[in-house]
Structure 1
Amino acid sequence: MDKKSRLTRSADFQRVYRKGKSVAGRQAVLYYFDRTDESGEEGPRLGISVSRKVGGAVVRNQVKRVIKEAFARFQQQVAPDFDYVIIARPGLANFIEESRFEDVVETLSDLFQRADLTRDTD
């Protein structure tokens, strides 16, 4: 994931939390904010938040890497010009420990579909 497609500043995260909407699942929460009116940047941007409740530093970094990889798989199918923040819950770490990458992809895909943020690639 290149630097342009990541949320890095605290102000960006706060804007998504305050002005955006959210969809929650058992393993993760998705916050999303339509930034078409606010910036000239193109494409979706992703921020990831993993608390210490999920696990130690090694586990948290594994979760972040897997979320980035999963998001990259369907990045072309999500609505552009949105900022997304994915908050991992402890259940997501269980998928990763059990090497169930496809379940992580399915979980995130389900959140995006429930938020009606996917588009057809036809």
Structure 2
Amino acid sequence: MSFRFRSAERLKGREEIRKAFADGRKYSCNGAKLFVLQNGLPVNRIAFTFARKYGNAVQRNRSRRLSREVYRLLKARLCSGFDLVLLVYPGKDTFNERMEQLRTLFQKADLFVDKT
């Protein structure tokens, strides 16, 4: 089991991200939204985006690093074959809060393999 976050696991390209926003199922919790769309691939691909008024570049980059780290730790427990877009709103920028957000969103989307 690899905990690396590889390039193939990143959702890239404006059109792919827009498609996930437009056609994907939406799940929300306090401070974040998750858009989920099946992709037919053996891996999940994810993109991290932020609300328009989300601080400056330093704050956005820190939040992106935090989100990536939490996803990297949780991805082994997720079903595969989905495009995911995480939309984050200002606030809740600690590791534990982000972990709680992603667990809640993945649980709502029924993406956990072990269903716990």
Fold similarity call, TM over 0.5? yes
Quote the offset at 1:120 in angstroms. Answer: 0.9
Counterpart selection for 1:21 from 25, 39, 52:
25
Structure 2 residue 104 is the aligned partner of structure 1 residue 113: no
Report how many aligned residue pairs link the two structures: 111
Quote the offset at 1:51 in angstroms. Answer: 3.2
Identical pairs, percent: 27
Quote the offset at 1:19 in angstroms. Answer: 1.6
Counterpart selection for 1:12 from 13, 16, 39:
16
Counterpart selection for 2:39 from 16, 35, 38:
35
| 8 A contact 1:51–1:60 mirrored in 2 | no
Q: Which runs of 5+ in 2 are unaligned?
A: none
Counterpart selection for 2:7 from 3, 7, 10:
3
Q: TM-score, normalised by structure 1?
A: 0.85
| 8 A contact 1:52–1:60 mirrored in 2 | no
Give a deviation string over 1:53-106, Cα, whole Å, max 9, x none. Answer: 121000000010000000001101112010000000112xxx32xxx3122111
Superposed CA RMSD: 1.4
